[in-house]
């Protein structure tokens, strides 16, 4: 019997992948995904975040809850509005229109048709009851007739055995017949062939492969079918015949819906043992519904979260080198967002990779400046400078940071940043403005008129035609320094 294995990194989450190399299990959040074109259509491949080898997708049966752990959910299934409406409708028709010819057969066909859709939905991992549409109830009635034919053949054979072989053999065969009906229905669903469903080799094999789980399912189903009979015998005397018939019909239909959803679930849970193809990969989203019984939006982590997860796994394993490799790879192309850039920066900081840190610091600062995050940008700038006084960000970022440092009251770094900006990028269009801001700040914030004068005069000298030169002159006039040159 399959047991749900947890993710090696999230003990509360069921593993969906297994690495053949390191034997670790991963949940969808932890696995590395890669999109690749296969014959022109994109396909997702899964890799071990630690070993970078192809991870095995665990079979659906290994990560869904076994059916015996969710029995109450099977009871709740027909109480969903869709099947409930159908049950009420069919039972009412069965009570009030039963004098019409073939009404009971027709009701049975509709119910079986719907139950077949229940089973199909469940097998594909969809635990919501199917809609009450023409498509579900009216089309392809052959499916329902095959099942009804199956019941008629079994019933007929049973009658013949009783008639020709006597009660002893008859009861024995009745016992095995009822025991094996679910297996026959499962074979019918899998093969869509009435002949296969009646072939003892096929249905006994199925029952045998499911093993104890099959017996458990059978016991459960037997109790289910016994219940309406028990109810009818014990409580019917208090009721009017109409009500009695209505409740009996509704109860049998209720249990029929349950039994089909249960059989569908058993096929799903044992699909590997019975050789029924359920694509675990198509299942990635639905199966989580099976697990938690509710779809959550975080089932498919975005690329950033996946990378962060991989990095944290590698760090937990003490493999900083590999974590940095992953981060470096993710930075390639320059499309990585701020979150990744920040993680990469911190990673380089803890592992003291100075030159890579300074290198990355430059693009990280570009990102921070683009996002107008003044405080963090200034802090990162100072950190990089303290590591290496020669550190110099890209020109536009440096210009902004210089202004922000001054704004922030960090006159020393602000001043230096402007000076370094001018020195490193003498041809940059913002150089005149840098001179002007230097002068203005020296005058107004530092009250250092000598420095202010020097900056303004450089501006006037180097860019006499620039708009800001006019302002620089008026500052100099105010400071009475214009004549002293």
Q: Which is nearer to Zn ion, 147 or 309 (CB)?
A: 309
Q: Which is nearer to Zn ion, 21 or 478 (CB)?
A: 21
Selected binder of Zn ion within 2, 5, 51, 225 (CB under 5 A) = 51
CA 153 – CA 383 distance, rounded (Å): 83
- At 299, is the secondary structure helix, strand, or coil? helix
Q: Which is nearer to Zn ion, 19 or 274 (CB)?
A: 19
| Per-residue binder mask for Zn ion (CB under 5 A), 4-23, x = binder | ---x-xx--------x-xx-
Neighbouring C-beta atoms of residue 338, cutoff 10 Å: 15
CA 305 – CA 163 distance, rounded (Å): 69
CB of 27 to Zn ion, least distance (A): 3
Stretch that binds Zn ion, among 29-37, 144-152, 323-331, 361-369 (CB under 5 A): 29-37
Q: How far, CA to CA in Å, does 165 sit from each of 78, 153, 172, 181?
A: 40, 17, 11, 21
CB of 248 to Zn ion, least distance (A): 49
**Residue 309: burial class (beta carbons within 10 Å; 0-12, 13-18, 19+):** buried
Tokens describing residue 151: 């019941």
Q: Which is nearer to Zn ion, 202 or 314 (CB)?
A: 314
Selected binder of Zn ion within 14, 27, 154, 250 (CB under 5 A) = 27
Q: Which is nearer to Zn ion, 289 or 401 (CB)?
A: 289
Stretch that binds Zn ion, among 2-10, 32-40, 156-164, 312-320 (CB under 5 A): 2-10
Q: Is 30 in the site for Zn ion (CB under 5 A)?
A: yes
CB of 372 to Zn ion, least distance (A): 35
Q: Is 301 in the site for Zn ion (CB under 5 A)?
A: no
Stretch that binds Zn ion, among 50-58, 187-195, 372-380, 422-430 (CB under 5 A): 50-58
Tokens describing residue 173: 């065969």
Q: What is the full DSSP assignment across 327-347?
A: HHHHHTTS---HHHHHHHHHH
Stretch that binds Zn ion, among 24-32, 145-153, 197-205, 208-216 (CB under 5 A): 24-32
Q: Is 220 in the site for Zn ion (CB under 5 A)?
A: no
Which residues neighbour 425 within 8 Å (Cβ) at sequence distance 6 or greater?
Answer: 395, 431
Q: Which is nearer to Zn ion, 180 or 288 (CB)?
A: 288
Q: Is 288 in the site for Zn ion (CB under 5 A)?
A: no
CB of 28 to Zn ion, least distance (A): 8
Integer distance in angstroms from the first to the last C-alpha of the chain? 94
CA 470 – CA 475 distance, rounded (Å): 9
CA 474 – CA 320 distance, rounded (Å): 57
Alpha helix positions (H), 211-302: 212-235, 241-269, 271-274, 286-292
Q: Which is nearer to Zn ion, 319 or 445 (CB)?
A: 319
CB of 326 to Zn ion, least distance (A): 14
CB of 50 to Zn ion, least distance (A): 4
Alpha helix positions (H), 20-59: none
Stretch that binds Zn ion, among 47-55, 111-119, 286-294, 453-461 (CB under 5 A): 47-55
Q: Is 50 in the site for Zn ion (CB under 5 A)?
A: yes
Nearest in space to 256 (alpha carbons), one of 67, 123, 132, 107: 107
Q: Give the helix/strand (H/E) hosting 367.
A: helix 354-370
CB of 21 to Zn ion, least distance (A): 4
Tokens describing residue 440: 């203005």
Q: Which is nearer to Zn ion, 51 or 132 (CB)?
A: 51
Q: List, in sequence order, every residue forming a beta bridge with 46; answer none if it has no partner.
A: 33
Number of residues this chain uses to bind Zn ion (CB under 5 A): 12
Stretch that binds Zn ion, among 25-33, 155-163, 298-306, 339-347 (CB under 5 A): 25-33
Task: Compute the half-sphere exposure of residue 185: CA atoms within 13 Å on the CB side of its CA.
Answer: 27
CB of 350 to Zn ion, least distance (A): 23
CB of 10 to Zn ion, least distance (A): 4
Q: Which is nearer to Zn ion, 32 or 425 (CB)?
A: 32
Q: Which is nearer to Zn ion, 197 or 323 (CB)?
A: 323
Tokens describing residue 31: 């696995």
Q: Which is nearer to Zn ion, 21 or 412 (CB)?
A: 21
Which residues neighbour 466 within 8 Å (Cβ) at sequence distance 6 or greater?
Answer: 432, 459
Which residues neighbour 170 within 8 Å (Cβ) at sequence distance 6 or greater?
Answer: 158, 161, 162
- Identify whether the C-beta of residue 315 lies closer than 8 Å to the C-beta of residue 326: no
Selected binder of Zn ion within 14, 48, 289, 397 (CB under 5 A) = 48
CB of 11 to Zn ion, least distance (A): 9
CB of 275 to Zn ion, least distance (A): 29
CB of 327 to Zn ion, least distance (A): 19
Sign of the torsion angle spanned by Cα atoms 349, 350, 355, 356: negative
CA 77 – CA 99 distance, rounded (Å): 31
Q: Which is nearer to Zn ion, 25 or 441 (CB)?
A: 25
What are the residues binding Zn ion (CB under 5 A)? 7, 9-10, 19, 21-22, 27, 29-30, 48, 50-51
């Amino acid at each position: 019997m399959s047991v749900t294995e947890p993710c090696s990194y999230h003990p509360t989450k069921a593993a969906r992948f297994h690495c053949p190399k390191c034997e670790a299990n991963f949940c969808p959040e932890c696995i590395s995904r890669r999109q690749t074109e296969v014959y022109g259509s994109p396909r997702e491949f899964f890799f071990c975040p630690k070993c970078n080898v192809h991870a095995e997708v665990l079979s659906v049966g290994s990560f869904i809850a076994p059916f015996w752990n969710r029995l109450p959910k099977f009871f709740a299934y027909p109480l969903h509005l869709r099947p409930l409406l159908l049950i009420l409708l069919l039972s009412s028709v069965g009570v009030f229109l039963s004098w019409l010819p073939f009404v009971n057969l027709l009701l049975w066909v509709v119910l079986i048709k719907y139950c077949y859709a229940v089973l199909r939905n469940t097998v594909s991992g969809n635990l919501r009851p199917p809609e009450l549409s023409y498509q579900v109830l009216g089309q392809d009635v052959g499916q329902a007739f095959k099942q009804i034919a199956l019941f008629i053949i079994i019933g007929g054979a049973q009658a013949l055995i009783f008639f020709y072989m006597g009660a002893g053999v008859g009861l024995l065969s009745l016992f095995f017949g009822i025991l094996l009906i679910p297996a026959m229905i499962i074979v019918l669903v899998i093969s869509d062939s009435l002949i296969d469903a009646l072939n003892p080799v096929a249905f006994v094999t199925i029952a045998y492969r499911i093993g104890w789980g099959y017996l458990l399912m059978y016991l459960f189903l037997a109790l289910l079918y016994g219940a309406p009979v028990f109810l009818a015998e014990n409580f019917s005397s208090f009721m009017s015949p109409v009500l009695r018939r209505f409740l009996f019909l509704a109860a049998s239909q209720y249990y029929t819906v349950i039994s089909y959803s249960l059989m569908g679930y058993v096929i799903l849970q044992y699909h590997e043992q019975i050789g029924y193809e359920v694509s675990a990969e198509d299942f990635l989203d639905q199966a989580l519904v099976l697990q938690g019984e509710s779809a959550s939006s975080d089932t498919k982590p975005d690329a950033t979260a996946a990378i962060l997860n991989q990095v944290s796994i590698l760090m937990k394993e003490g493999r900083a080198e590999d974590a940095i490799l992953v981060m470096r790879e993710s930075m390639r192309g320059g499309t990585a967002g701020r979150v990744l850039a920040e993680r990469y920066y911190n990673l380089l900081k803890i592992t003291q990779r100075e030159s890579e840190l300074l290198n990355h610091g430059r693009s990280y600062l570009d990102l921070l400046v683009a996002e107008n995050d003044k405080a963090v940008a200034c802090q990162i700038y100072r950190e990089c400078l303290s590591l290496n006084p020669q550190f110099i960000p890209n020109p536009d970022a440096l210009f902004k940071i210089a202004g922000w440092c001054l704004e922030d009251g960090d006159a020393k770094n602000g001043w230096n940043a402007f000076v370094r900006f001018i020195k490193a990028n003498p041809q940059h269009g913002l150089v005149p403005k840098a001179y002007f801001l230097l002068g203005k700040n020296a005058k107004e914030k530092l009250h250092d008129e000598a420095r202010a004068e020097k900056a303004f005069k450089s501006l006037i000298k180097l860019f006499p035609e620039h708009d800001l030169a006019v302002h620089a002159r008026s500052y100099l006039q105010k400071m009475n320094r214009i004549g002293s040159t």
